[in-house]
Chain A
Amino acid sequence: MQSIQNLEKIATQVRRDIIRMVHGASSGHVGGPMGSADFLVALYFEIMQPDPHHFSMDGVGEDIFFLSNGHLSAGWYSVLARYGYFDFKELATFRKMGSRLQGHPACHEGLPGIRMSSGSLGQGLSVSIGAALAKKLNKDEHLVYCLMGDGELEEGQNWEALMLAPAHEVDNLIAVVDYNGQQIDGPVDAVLPLGDLEEKFTSFGWKVLTMYGNDMTEVVDTLKKAQWFTNQGKPVMVLMKTHMGYGVDFMTDNHEWHGVPPNDEQMKIALSQLQETLGDY
């Protein structure tokens, strides 16, 4: 078991990686991955603990994760590397020609840890349901996790999937919504309000939990609680309130940091707020 302090240290390094990767590529997304970094670190290092050295596409016999909002790739790649799936020095190739670290995750590039390409939004929950159904057919008792964005919920396919999972009792699935309230064109409530998500998911037949996603203790505790609610006939949804750009003051809660790379000066200030805990790539 990891100490909370250790998980926080890893998350801080992941945030540094994100800033440096997006700066290095002069393109990419910082806001979303910064906000969900605590969740991804907790998920890999404490909750799922998959074997990073024997990655198999089928993921039989271990918990598996799908990133539906593929633009969070920088954060996911950092977590995968820091967890041991590949050498963290490879993070320097992010978004560059010939890299396995494509702008959005690409499962055929041979990067261990990635089982599905994502980027075009709204598809990950359906994929996760399929993988969860395959686990049931295989009598594999491990779980499937999926992270989605809140703005992403505007895609209609999600609601097809949200309807199907309870109807088919896909209760080996934990879906997490990164509820930071921001999307490219502005606050989600200004672009297309989502209404009361907790009520919507509950009425669709999901077991819904809420958590604050930028507090490591709460993230770990809530995910363990979510695990406890699996295999009880309902899929589990975690509404995770986060701050876009969390960890750097001028990026926090600012939708303008959805998909803009920091310049040299901005990177300097950002990194001064994030301690190098595990060594930069």
Chain B
Amino acid sequence: MSDYQNFGSKDTRSGFGEALLELGRQYPDVVALCADLTGSLKMDAFAKAFPARFIQVGIAEANMMGIAAGLTIGGKIPFTGTFANFSTARVYDQIRQSIAYSNKNVKICASHAGITLGEDGATHQSLEDIGMMKMLPNMTVINPCDFNQTHAATLAIAKHVGPVYLRFGRPKWPNFTPADQEFIIGKALLLKEGNDVSIFATGHLVWNSLQAAKQLNEQGIHAEVIDIHTIKPLDAERILSSVRKTGCVVSAEEHMRNGGLGDSIAQLIVRECPVPMEMVAINDHFGESGKPEELLKKYKLDIPDIVAAAVNVIERKKKK
């Protein structure tokens, strides 16, 4: 399989913003709500094109979630926009009762997720959001890997009936998935085939995992790289077929180890196919200010960390 090319780095949030505008044109029932972060969420084009369908709620995220839930009664498809921390932790009970338990068709769109938010520091770096959202019954949880995939995912969730958490980020990041690739919720994407180790990654770390696989290849290790853009529902079939082939697993994500993608995969393989596993994730620690690349390095989410995890897990497999 050929190497993936970066078509030109772009922020995933812009993929969301562009798709939201398209949805506005396509679906008269799509409405957008924002809590004073229209520019950051790239929702300004929608707000300008469809002022009657854009609701600026001010810095009041709890109210935003409630209003979004209410808008579904009347057939609207609300997309809420704010940072990941304010989309989840700040409004967890509102989401739990008025959206998830009530099973309302709200799309919770969360930017600036993960440690690559960078300089704003730990208060804004949401590293727990996947865990919180995946614990809620009825909730679909999606973390696309690049601009094109975020664009496609945004279009896809409008057609899906039910609550969705869509997580994306702030920095410009390699854009490498095909622009015309269909986004199927719950269907993991095999990006690179290999027999020695399965690397399951989500979000920005999918690109890092591909780079890690390239380096591993130079050492004669053939890693399989699978993009788990949908953390819930998890593509158990795809994951297990890869694990049965490779016999060991690395997960990679910009999230706490507790509650993240690795946690979901571990739960699956411990039941179905126990094999050695390493998790590239934040280990029970808050973030801090810094450049994204510095933070990835410090918190061991960088390409060499994925390479090391793969080498390590293959060693463990051999010892078994």
Residues of B within 8 A of A157 (CB): 60, 62-63, 66, 94
Bound form: Cα–Cα A78–B226 in Å: 54
Residues of B within 8 A of A1 (CB): none
Residues of A within 8 A of B63 (CB): 126, 129, 157, 160-161, 164
Contact of B101 among A59, A117, A132, A163 (CB under 8 A): A117
User: Is A127 in contact with B98, judged by CB distance below 8 angstroms?
Assistant: yes
Residues of A within 8 A of B64 (CB): 126
Apart from A123-B66, A126-B94, A130-B67, 5 more pairs, CB < 8 Å: A66-B70, A107-B102, A117-B101, A133-B70, A137-B74
Residues of B within 8 A of A108 (CB): 101-103
The smallest beta-carbon distance between B23 and chain A, in angstroms, is: 15
User: Is B66 in contact with A134, judged by CB distance below 8 angstroms?
Assistant: no
Whether a CB of chain B sits under 8 angstroms from the CB of A194 is no
Bound form: Cα–Cα A124–B66 in Å: 7
Whether a CB of chain B sits under 8 angstroms from the CB of A73 is no
Residue count of chain B within 8 Å CB distance of chain A = 32
User: Is B66 in contact with A129, judged by CB distance below 8 angstroms?
Assistant: yes
Contact status of A137 and B52, CB under 8 A, knowing A64-B73, A129-B67 = yes
User: Is B74 in contact with A134, judged by CB distance below 8 angstroms?
Assistant: yes
Bound form: Cα–Cα A126–B58 in Å: 13
Contact status of A156 and B70, CB under 8 A, knowing A107-B102, A119-B97, A120-B93 = no
The smallest beta-carbon distance between A140 and chain B, in angstroms, is: 7
User: Is A160 in contact with B60, judged by CB distance below 8 angstroms?
Assistant: yes
User: Is A106 in contact with B101, judged by CB distance below 8 angstroms?
Assistant: yes
Contact of B60 among A116, A119, A164 (CB under 8 A): A164
Contact of B66 among A106, A127, A140 (CB under 8 A): A127
Bound form: Cα–Cα A137–B78 in Å: 12
User: Is A118 in contact with B74, judged by CB distance below 8 angstroms?
Assistant: no
For window 113-151 of A, CB contacts with B under 8 Å fall at 115-120, 122-135, 137-138, 140
Contact of B70 among A130, A138, A168 (CB under 8 A): A130
Contact status of A163 and B60, CB under 8 A, knowing A127-B67, A130-B69 = yes
The smallest beta-carbon distance between A50 and chain B, in angstroms, is: 13
Bound form: Cα–Cα A214–B71 in Å: 32
Whether a CB of chain B sits under 8 angstroms from the CB of A218 is no
User: Is B67 in contact with A57, judged by CB distance below 8 angstroms?
Assistant: no
Which residue of chain A has the shortest Cβ distance to B100 in the bound complex?
Answer: A117
The smallest beta-carbon distance between B249 and chain A, in angstroms, is: 36
